[in-house]
Amino acid sequence: MTTMTAPVPSGGRRVEHPALPGGFAVPDFSAPLPPREGDRVIQFREALREAMSEEMRRDKRVFLMGEEVAEYNGAYKVSQGMLDEFGPKRIIDSPISENGFAGLGIAAAMYGLRPIIEFMSWSFSLVAADQLLNNAAKLLYMSGGQWGCPIVFRGNDGAGGQLGSTHSWCVEALYANVPGTKIVIPSNPYDGKGLLKTAILDPDPVFFLESERMLGDKAHVPEEEYYIPFGKARLVREGDAATLVSFGRPVHFCAEACEQLAAEGIECDLLDMRTVRPLDMASVVESLKRTNRLVVVDQSWPFASIASEVITQAIEQAFDWLDGPPIRVNTDDVPTPYAKAMEFAYLPNAEKIVAAVKRSLA
C-alpha cells in the first residue's frame, strides 16, 4: 500500500447543505494545503465510505445499491459496516443485472431520491450503457428541464491487476463524449472523499471512476466536513520545463517521473485534473504560459482519448504559447493483456513519461 500526502482544508467548519436555490455551489477546499499535525491517515476505501455515510446521515433520500454492497460489505469493502448503520432499505444488494439496477436508480432519482449506484467494475457498466447514456444523461434536456437525474454511478475503472481485457475498461473517453454527464476521477483519498460528497449533492448524473489498485492507498483526510468543487485541477508540483497533465492513478506515475526528472535538473508542472467533465483547461493554459510544453498522461487508449481532447483544446486556446508539439502518453492501442509484465508494459509508466518529457524538450 502507498502512503501519500494530499491537500487538506485550512480550517474546519461545518458546511451547510450546498444545493442552493438558483444554482449548485460548494465551498472551495481544492487548494493544495499541507496536512496538519494530528490529521488522520486513512485508506482510499475508507474515505469513500465516509463520504457516502456522511451524506446518508444528512439526507434520508440517499441510498446505495449494487452487487454485494450490503451483506458482503462490498466487493472491495468500500461499503463495509454501512448495512449495519443504515439498514437494508438504504444499502441494497442487487442481482447481477446492471441494466436493471441502473434503470431502477434513474427512476428513483426522477422521483426525488438520491441514489448511489455501484458497479463492481465500470467494465460491467457497458451492459447498462443505454440507461446511462440514453436516459440519465439526456433526461433533463429531453424533458425540457422538468425531470432531473441526481444520481451517482461509481465503481472501479481501468486495469485492476491481471483481470484481462473484458474487466479492464477505461470508460472515461467513451462516456465523456455524451453531453449531460459529469465525470470524476480522483487520484488520492482526500480528493476521493471531497469529490464524492460533491457528486452526491450534484443535481446531474455523475460518473465517479475509482481505481481498484488505489483503494488501499493512504493519505491525510481530516475529520471535519469538506467538499471539493468540480472543474478545479490541483497543482501537485510546480516547475517551468514542461506541463504534465493527468488524472486518476496515472498521477502517481507522473509524480514518480517528476522525481526522476528533477534529479536531472528538469522541473515540471504536474496538474491533477480531478474531473474530466468539466475539464479545467484554464489551469492547463495558465501552466503552459510558463512552461510552453505539454505532455498528457492518460490510461485510456490513444484514439479519441481524454488526452486527445486536452491536446486539442490546448492547441485551440494556447497555440501561441507552445514551443513544440504536445505529446500524449496512453496505454498501448491493444486490448488489456492479462500477463503481469505485459500489463505493466501496456500501461503508462514513469519511464514512458520521462521519455515523453525529454522529447518535448528536444
Known catalytic residue: 167? yes
Output the average pLDDT for the chain: 90
SS (H, E, C) the chain: CCECCCCCCCCCCCCCCCCCCCCCCCCCCCCCCCCCCCCCEEEHHHHHHHHHHHHHHHCCCEEEEECCCCCCCCCCCCCCCHHHHHCCCCEEECCCCHHHHHHHHHHHHHCCCEEEEEECCHHHHHHHHHHHHHHHCCHHHHCCCCCCCCCEEEEECCCCCCCCHHHCCCCHHHHHCCCCCEEECCCCHHHHHHHHHHHHHCCCCEEEEECHHHCCCEEECCCCCCCCCCCCCEEEECCCCCEEEECCCHHHHHHHHHHHHHCCCCCCEEEECCEEECCCHHHHHHHHHHHCCEEEECCCCCCCCHHHHHHHHHHHHHHHHCCCCCEEECCCCCCCCCCHHHHHHHCCCHHHHHHHHHHHHC
Grid coordinates representing 8 are: 487538506
Instruction: Kindly state the average pLDDT of the residues 294-320.
Output: 97
| 119, 186, 334 from 209: Cα distances, Å | 10, 7, 21
Is 79 in contact with 111 (CB distance < 8 Å)?
A: no
Angle at CA of residue 246, ends 347 and 288, nearest 5°? 135
Q: Is the pLDDT of residue 358 over 90?
A: yes
Quote the pLDDT of residue 34: 60
Grid coordinates representing 111 are: 422521483
Is 276 in contact with 183 (CB distance < 8 Å)?
A: yes
Angle at CA of residue 349, ends 352 and 281, nearest 5°? 85
Q: Which of 50, 98, 118, 309 is catalytic?
A: 98
Q: Which of 46, 50, 118, 167 is catalytic?
A: 167
**Gyration radius of the chain over CA positions:** 20
Instruction: Kindly state the average pLDDT of the residues 234-258.
Output: 96
Is 150 in contact with 204 (CB distance < 8 Å)?
A: yes
Quote the pLDDT of residue 121: 92
Quote the pLDDT of residue 39: 76
Closest by Cα among 116, 130, 111, 120 to 178: 130
Question: What pTM was estimated for this model as a whole?
Answer: 0.91
Q: Is the pLDDT of residue 347 over 80?
A: yes
In which region does residue 77 sit, left (phi positive, over 0), alpha (psi from -120 to 50) or beta (all else)? left
Known catalytic residue: 98? yes
Q: Is the pLDDT of residue 70 over 90?
A: yes
Please tell me the distance from the alpha carbon of residue 33 to that of residue 93, in angstroms, as a whole number: 39
Is 176 in contact with 309 (CB distance < 8 Å)?
A: yes
Q: Is the pLDDT of residue 219 over 60?
A: yes
pLDDT digits over 10-68, tens only? 433 334 444 433 445 666 666 545 666 777 899 999 999 999 999 999 999 999 999 99
Quote the pLDDT of residue 258: 97
Quote the pLDDT of residue 29: 64
pLDDT digits over 250-287, tens only? 999 999 999 999 999 999 999 999 999 999 999 999 99
**Residue-range domains of the chain with CATH:** 41-220 (3.40.50.970), 234-361 (3.40.50.920)
Is 197 in contact with 116 (CB distance < 8 Å)?
A: no
Please tell me the distance from the alpha carbon of residue 37 to that of residue 303, in angstroms, as a whole number: 45
Instruction: Kindly state the average pLDDT of the residues 56-81.
Output: 96
Closest by Cα among 200, 244, 186, 239 to 19: 200
pLDDT digits over 129-175, tens only? 999 999 999 999 999 998 889 999 999 998 777 888 888 889 999 99
